[in-house]
Amino acid sequence: MTSLEHIVENSRFTILLGKNGAGKSTRMRELDSSNTLNTKYISPERGGTLKYDPNVDNNIATNQGWLENTRRQNRFEQFRQQSAAQFRTLEVMILREIERNVDKRNDHTYTFDRILGQINSLLPAICLVRSDKGFSIQSKDGEPIPEENISSGESELIALAIEVLVFSRSETSNKILLLDEPDVHLHPDLQQRFIAFVELISKEQDMKVVISTHSTAIISAFSESSDLTIVPVLLKCQSQFSSFRRSSVCDEILPIFGAHPLSSVFNRSPVVLVEGEDDKRVLERAIRSSNGRFRFSPCVVGTVSELHKWEDWLNQFLPVLYDDPKGYSLRDLDDSSQCEIQDHGVVCRIRINCYSIENLLLTEECLDDHGFTEETFKHEIVKWKEQFNLHKYATDVSGLIEQFSNRRIVKVKNIRNILVALLGTNKEWEVVVGQLIAKNIGSGSNSEHSINHYLGSKAIGRLFS
């Protein structure tokens, strides 16, 4: 745990992540009022019309501190008018930059129109054109568009881009731009474009950026090489903060949450960490076959050793977004002698009660569905062994025959496709097991070789309830 200011000073990009009312804006304004940081704060609710207003321009010019003070409000109705006025400031800054720098003066491609092109690259349907009042807005076909007729998202992007460019070229060192909820009014695609723009400008102009958000699209938009730190914000009175770095876990798991996690979609379909693609395919088939009874989102981790890291990530991430956070991790029994495992914070840890999920092919319900009893299916396995004694997995089949009464804890991974063939179905084994789970959860016995016993009471009661 450390101070937020210390975290910000040691990362190029910092994300403040938290629920509405958690105090993200309060933390941003505290950073903005710091005597040791050179900051510019962009308020979260940015009202107004993107139109040049000479009164706004006059206030900026004559009232020192007016721009900064109005920005510290959560909502300011003339924000976009301020941004439009600053466009003219940006033009002057770029022209003076060219005038002072010999290399840029000799580079005839480095013009204000090039900078304007950076803004226009964010806009899929419209563009800005220089005019006497700063700029006008046109369609891509060149048709004029009144400022009040463009969408909120387009207006938002233009205003934010101008703010970023103006501050990035201010004649100060150690610049830190504070963007409070830049995702407001922006579709996830536009969020991606804007973050790519911010990342580029930040690196070109050596500027740090702090963003408060609850949009996972904002986080996932940063490049893999970005120097990004994520800070969970839980309480308004918080003074010390933990943080975690952008990692492969973020890249893999964030798409599950979607672009707007606060829509509560995730709470209806919580993430389930699984060890491999096999487990994921089984659970996906179970979901599809359950007619809406099962709602969760499987996410492949890779190995058991990696599972702990992912659980830690979820345990930090979920509480800053949801009032009733929940996630799951699912383990095979493998060689463990204990089925139960302790939960990890908000993550419900589940170890199934059979060697691995393909062992469900040997449950009494699966055998019965395909017209077999325990004795008749064992007889089919023995016949197969006699016929294919030189098969590369004949030893594995022999092991199953010898331990058939203990088949719940026998490793059958190598012979699962043989078992499916002996059951007399053309379906893939993952489909057979997934449909088996969907059909039998909530019914049947708890006998030694029942599906309920193989999955275990915690899986039945928590994940498949």
Sequential pLDDT tens for the chain (465 residues): 789 999 999 999 999 988 778 888 889 888 988 888 899 888 765 555 555 555 555 555 566 655 555 555 544 555 677 777 788 888 888 988 888 888 888 988 888 999 899 999 998 889 999 887 788 889 988 898 888 888 888 888 888 999 899 999 988 888 999 999 888 878 888 888 999 999 999 999 999 999 998 787 888 888 888 999 989 888 778 888 888 887 777 766 766 665 444 434 444 678 899 998 999 999 999 999 998 888 888 888 877 788 898 998 888 888 877 777 889 999 999 866 666 789 999 999 999 999 999 999 999 999 999 999 999 999 999 999 999 999 999 999 999 999 999 999 999 999 999 999 999 999 999 999 999 999 988 777 889 999 999 999 999 999 988
Rounded to 5°, the CA angle 233-237-242 comes to 35
Task: Name the percent of the chain in helix, strand, coil, to the closest 5.
Answer: 50, 15, 35
State whether residue 11 is helix, strand or coil: coil
349, 436 Cβ separation under 8 angstroms: no
Closest CA to 326 of 443, 194, 462, 152: 462
* Predicted local confidence at residue 259, as pLDDT: 42
Q: Alpha helix (H) ranges present in 211-247?
A: 216-221
Tell me the C-alpha distance between 188 and 192, whole Å: 6
455, 283 Cβ separation under 8 angstroms: no
The pTM is what?
0.69
State whether residue 92 is helix, strand or coil: helix
Tell me the C-alpha distance between 375 and 137, whole Å: 79
Within 10 Å of residue 206's Cβ, how many Cβ atoms?
A: 11
State whether residue 167 is helix, strand or coil: helix
Q: Which two tokens stand for residue 18?
A: 């938290």
Tell me which architecture the domain covering 4-246 has in CATH. 3-Layer(aba) Sandwich (3.40)
Residues of the chain with CATH 3.40.50.300: 4-246
